[in-house]
Amino acid sequence: MGFLFGGGGGGESAAQKKSREKQEAAQERQEQRVMSQEREQQTQIAARRRVRRTGGLRLLMSPARQEGPQEQPQKTSLG
């Protein structure tokens, strides 16, 4: 009956300790993953704000935009 009153009974077994360490390591990896995702989302939000603020200069200066209708071949027939 010594184990009922905290005297003896031993500690956790090696298997239990190993299992607990694995769970702690998995939890740490999960926390790191979540922090990384949050950081990525923050950078994406900041990039969207930057584009709105500058008006999307990259789209205005794109090669497709620079090749406007003046560089397309003229059609001579009307049909």
Q: Which residue has the higher pLDDT, 57 or 13?
A: 13
| pLDDT tens, residue by residue, 15-63 | 889 999 999 999 999 999 999 999 999 999 998 888 777 766 566 666 6
Q: Which residues of 59-79 are buried (b: 16+ CB within 10 A; e: fewer)?
A: eeeeeeeeeeeeeeeeeeeee
pLDDT at residue 40, rounded to an integer: 96
Q: How far apart are CA 79 and CA 9, in angstroms?
A: 97
- The structure tokens 């994406």 sit at 44
Residue type for position 32: Q
Q: What is the pTM for the complete model shown? A: 0.48
